Amino acid sequence: MKILIAFALLFSTQLYAEDVVSSHYICTHKDNNHVRQVKITHQYPGCQVIYIKADETSNIMGEVVWSAQNSTDYCDEKGLAFVEEKLQRKYGWICLDELNK
């Protein structure tokens, strides 16, 4: 529960207020109770793919793993490939796009 509250606080800040989120993947793993998130944001004309996870002490860390200044398609493609190929196929995470169910 503490993690969910922290996620809500993180995403309600002004840092993300101007971004348009096109996809927001929530990923869980059958072997543990960890959660990973992949957020694809459009900042017209650019974009970002943000990977968010909590460490062992429940500290939430977000990292921009891809970005583009003049394309939103780039982030959509890179983010989806990361979710499908790395998180799901390689590591066994189960991911759902909360915005595009």
What is the residue range of 17's domain? 2-97
* φ, ψ (nearest 5 deg) of residue 39: -110, 125
Residue 30 clears pLDDT 50, i.e. is over it: yes
Strand order in the sheet with 35-43: 60-68, 46-54, 35-43, 20-29, 93-97
The pLDDT value given to residue 76: 95
Tokens of 26: 């929530």
Q: How confident is the model at residue 100 (pLDDT cuts 50, 70, 90)?
A: confident
24, amino acid identity: H
The pLDDT value given to residue 5: 43
Question: How many domains does the chain fold into?
Answer: 1
- The residue that leads in pLDDT, 99 or 81, is 81
pLDDT tens, residue by residue, 67-78: 999 999 999 999
Q: How confident is the model at residue 63 (pLDDT cuts 50, 70, 90)?
A: very high
State the distance between the two ends of the chain, measured CA to CA, in whole angstroms: 23
Q: What is the mean pLDDT of residues 44-61?
A: 87
